[in-house]
Amino acid sequence: MTNTPNAIRWALEQGANGIEMDLKFDGTRPVQFHHGAHCDCFCLLQFLSIQDHGCRSLGKGCSGSTSVAEMTDFLGSPEITSSHLALIYIDAKLEKSIRNYAQAGANVVRMINENVISRGYRGQILLGCSTVSRVDNLRGAIQEAHYSEYVDRYFYTIDSEGDNAEKGEVAPSPSQSHPITLVGARIKVFGLAAARQPNVPTRTTVSVDYRIFPKRLVCWWW
Instruction: Judge whether 21 and 91 are in contact, CB under 8 Å.
Output: yes
Residue 187 and residue 207: Cα distance in Å, rounded? 6
What pLDDT, on the 0 to 100 scale, is given for residue 68? 95
What pLDDT, on the 0 to 100 scale, is given for residue 184? 31
In this prediction, residue 132 has a pLDDT band, given cuts at 50, 70 and 90, of confident
β-bridge mates for residue 1, sequence order:
none
Domain 5-210, CATH class in plain words: alpha beta
What pLDDT, on the 0 to 100 scale, is given for residue 31? 92
β-bridge mates for residue 219, sequence order:
none
Task: List, in sequence order, the alpha helices (H) in the chain.
Answer: 5-13, 44-48, 54-58, 68-75, 78-81, 101-115, 136-146
* Mean pLDDT for the chain overall: 72
As a whole number, mean pLDDT of residues 192-221 equals: 34
Cα end-to-end distance, the chain, whole Å: 11
Residue 206 and residue 222: Cα distance in Å, rounded? 22
What pLDDT, on the 0 to 100 scale, is given for residue 198? 35
Percent of the chain topping pLDDT 90: 40
As a whole number, mean pLDDT of residues 7-19 equals: 89
Q: What's the CA angle centered on 113, arms 110 and 118, to 5 degrees? A: 150
- Give the tens place of pLDDT for each residue, 68-125: 999 999 999 999 999 999 999 999 988 777 789 899 999 999 999 999 999 999 999 9
Residue 206, pLDDT > 50, answer: no
As a whole number, mean pLDDT of residues 45-72 equals: 68
As a whole number, mean pLDDT of residues 149-164 equals: 80
Domain residue extents for the chain? 5-210
**Range with the lowest mean pLDDT among 7-11, 18-22, 209-213?**
209-213
The burial class, CB within 10 Å (0-12 / 13-18 / 19+), for 21 is buried
Q: Is 195 helix (H, G, I), strand (E, B) or coil?
A: coil
Q: What's the CA angle centered on 1, arms 58 and 109, to 5 degrees? A: 130
In this prediction, residue 130 has a pLDDT band, given cuts at 50, 70 and 90, of confident
- CB neighbour list of residue 71: distance below 8 Å, 6 or more residues apart: 3, 5, 21, 33
This prediction's pTM: 0.71
